[in-house]
Structure formats: C-alpha cells, structure tokens
Amino acid sequence: MRISPLRLARMLMLALVLALAVVRPAAAQSVLRDSETELLFRDISRPLIAAAGLDPKTNVVLLNDPEINAFVAQGQTVYLQSGLITASDNVNQVQGVIAHELGHIAGGHSIRMAGGVSEATGITVATMLLGALAMAAGAGDAAMGIMMAGQRAAIAKFLAFSRTQESSADLAGARYLSAAGISGRGSVEFFKKLTNQEYRLAIYAKDSYDRTHPLSQERVTTLQELYSKDPAWDRPPDPQLEARFQRVKAKLTGFVNPKQATVKYPESDKSVPAHYARAYAYHVGAYPEKALSEANALLATNPDDPFFLELKGQILLESGRPMEAIAPLREATRRSGDDPLIASMLGHALISTERKEHFAEAKQVLKSAVNRDNQNPFAWYQLGIIYDREGDPARAALATAERNNLEGKPKLALASAEQALKGIPSGTPDYLRAQDIALVSRAELKKDKKNRSKD
C-alpha cells in the first residue's frame, strides 16, 4: 500500500506530538480537597519552599489518581497523585518528592519545555522536507528512511532534554532538603521503591536511553552518595509530622480504595490511623452505622480533635441526618479556627435541614468561607441556594458564575455573570466581580473558538 507524502508527514508529526506529551494537565484530573491533608502539605513543604527561595504561596495539591506520580505544570503548584501518598511509607519520602518537584519549579522547567518541544519539532520538519524532496525525485524508500530517522532524532533530542531537567531537579531537591535540615533518606527510599516497581513491570533496560527520566537505580546511586554526606542523613522525621502523615494516608486509603483499607487496617487494629481508614471505607461503602462507630472511636481518643468532629459530621450529613450533623460540624469549625472547607460543610448541613431559622447562620458561615477560600465551587453553590431562598436572584446568579468559573465552564459563567450584572447595583464590589468574571469568560471563549478554527 502506497502512503502519500502528505499522509506520511501527518503520521510522523502525530507520533512526535504523542511522544512529547509529557506534561499532564492537572485540570484533566480530579482534585481532592481535605482540610487536614492540605494543612499537612503546607507544614511539610514550608521549609522546602523557603529553602528554594520560592513564593510562600507555592502550594501542594492532591489529585485523585492511583498512579505513583507527581508533577508540576505552569505556575507554582506541585501536584501529588493519591497513588503516591498511599504508596509512601513515611512523611520523609513525600518530602523528598516535593523537594524534587520544587526543583522543577525553581528551574522553570515547565516554561522551558516549550523550547525543548520547538527544537525537536524543528528537526522533524526539516527531515520531512528532505523526505518530501526525495519522494518527489522518485526515491520512496529513501524518503521513508529519512523521515523515520528524523522522527527518531527528534524524539531522542527531546528525551535527552527531559532527562537533563530530571537530573537538575534531583540535585536542586537535595539542596533544599539539606538547607531545611531534612534527611534525604526518604528520597532514596522512594526511588528504591520505584526501582522495585520497574522490575515488577519487567523493565530491564540497562541504561537511560529513550526515557524521559533517568533510571531510578541511577538516581538512587547518585543521590545516596550525595545525601549520605549531609549532616541530616541520620535525622529521623519529626514524630508529630509522621503521626499526622499516617492519619492522612489512612483516611485517603479508606476514601479511594475502601476494600484495600479494610484489609490493610483490619478491625483488630485499634490505632488512630486504622479507625480513620475504616471510617472512610465504611462511609464510602454505605455502611453509616459502622462508619459512625469508627468516628466515635476516634473521638474517644480525643473529643476535641476538629478533624474527628468533621468526620462524624460528614458521615451524619451524607447519610441523611443533617440536624445531627450540625453540632459536631459547628464544633469542628470552631476548633479548626473557622477552616473554610469545614465551615462550608457546616453551611451545607444548615441548608439541608430545610429550616428557615438556620439560613441566616448558613449565609454567614458560607460568606466567611468563600472570603477565606474562594476556590471551592461547592461553597459557592450552597451560597447561591441561600441567595435564591432570600429572593436575591442577581447574587444567586453571581454565586453560580463563581462556581462555573472555578469549574472551567466559561459559557455558563458568562451567562450567569451577565444575569448578575442586570440586577446588582452598578459600581458595587459584587457588580465589579461579575464584570471580572464576564471579561475572563469572554476571553476564554474567544480563545477556545480560535483554537477550534485552527483545528
């Protein structure tokens, strides 16, 4: 079967594009938000962010993805996938991963990625032109060989570029751990874990050619030599951070993999992480009474723990008992210092009672929550319900616009923002906010339209 020069060029370009698609868009994955987890991430990353000289607002986000992976995209955010947390043995291992990813941010690697792609694409285009000339001259086999060789060279060029970035991030991460006084032992342990995984997957390559990351064993050897000379090498993890990590890991396991949680944390295990894991596993599995029993067991160990109180309130609320959920959620909100995620759940419980006497408190709680954290679509949804119940459709539309904007729905956000502008007094803060959302949404729709026209 003959392949036309144009079709062959398209096939090769598609292969290159697929080979270069190494930056994973976080928007395509589900973000998991949990107050206790986010607080832990802030505390374990703070000294590393300072050591890297990055903006203190640099944050760590958890994604619901079973793969053992972490990455950065454009901006100052480290994305950890749930599979990485559940596979980590201790908090030091997670800190090693965060340090490495901060090395990517400090090195501007996501920005430089475009340069690596451009250089590789240039090689492909040049060889495709040579191949087209050869094909025009009647040398079809030679043309195929030129184009395939060009594709191979382009991919090799990009992979070498990516491997250099990974090695650079390794060394940068080592510097940050050292400056923060944190042992690199966890980093080495985690790479050993990846090495074992490679062999389980029957990846027996002897060198790092054709890989975007250097082989884990190579990294282990290099990093162990570096870390073992550091004064912090034998320093154990902070026991409080380690205890908090084991709680977070257990509750995450219970949430994302209930069956695994009940096996890993059997009922004979009476530790706090085990109660946590089983509580979430039973709750996700629709066994509310068993989940409540585990939550009560946690509260018996510490009745003032805001996250244990939050858990009990969540189980009651999501099993259809909002009135009973209010008391533990109120206490959780108070003891957490009005944490916005916990406060949003309290607002949800108050609204779910369908009692008007609770609506004023719900409005106050939710407005405070979105003022402190406006990145919670569900909180905006709940606030919109309150405005609608109060007979304020314009501000209900604004809350809906906020939610759609956060969820990446520019068409719906624009429609809601325009509706809000019709009913909110001109010049007020709410009016200006509706204008901002409308402007951003129009720009996003225009960009989408332009991209579609290119396709």
Q: pLDDT at position 112, please?
A: 46
205 vs 209: CA distance, rounded Å: 8
Asked whether the predicted pLDDT for residue 9 surpasses 80, the reply is no
Q: Which residue has the higher pLDDT, 108 or 64?
A: 64
- Residue burial 257-283, b: 16+ Cβ < 10 Å; e: rest: bbeebbebbeeeeeebbbbbbbbbbbb
Average pLDDT (209-234) is 76
Q: To 10 degrees, what angle do helices 359-372 and 377-389 make?
A: 150
27-36, 145-154, 204-213, 340-349: segment of lowest average pLDDT? 204-213
What local confidence, expressed as pLDDT, does residue 14 receive?
41
Confidence check: pLDDT of 233 > 80: yes
Q: How confident is the model at residue 452 (pLDDT cuts 50, 70, 90)?
A: confident
Per-residue pLDDT, 333: 98
How is residue 204 written in tokens?
């027996």
Please state which of the four CATH numbers 2.60.40.10, 3.40.50.970, 1.20.272.10, 3.30.2010.10 is assigned to the domain occupying 5-181: 3.30.2010.10
Average pLDDT of the segment spanning 268-296: 98
In this prediction, residue 449 has a pLDDT band, given cuts at 50, 70 and 90, of: confident
What's the sign of the alpha-carbon dihedral 183, 185, 187, 188?
positive
| Cα 350 to Cα 379: distance, rounded to the nearest angstrom | 13
Helix axes 91-106, 109-136, angle to 10 degrees: 60
Residue pLDDT, tens place only, 176-192? 999 999 999 999 999 88
Percent of the chain clearing pLDDT 70 (strictly above): 76
More confident residue, 157 or 218: 218
pLDDT digits (tens, 9 = 90+) for 33-77: 999 999 999 999 999 999 999 999 999 999 999 999 999 887 789
Indicate the range of 12-26, 341-355, 392-406 predicted with least confidence.
12-26
Contact 344, 374 (CB under 8 A): no
Average predicted confidence (pLDDT) for the chain: 84
In the chain, what percentage of residues exceed pLDDT 90? 66
- Sketch the domain layout of the chain as residue ranges: 5-181
Distance, CA of 226 to CA of 174 (rounded, Å) = 8
What's the whole-number mean pLDDT along residues 400-413?
96
Residue-level pLDDT at 164: 62
pLDDT at 119 exceeding the cut of 80: no
> What's the pLDDT score for residue 29?
63
User: Residue range 406-415: average pLDDT?
Assistant: 96
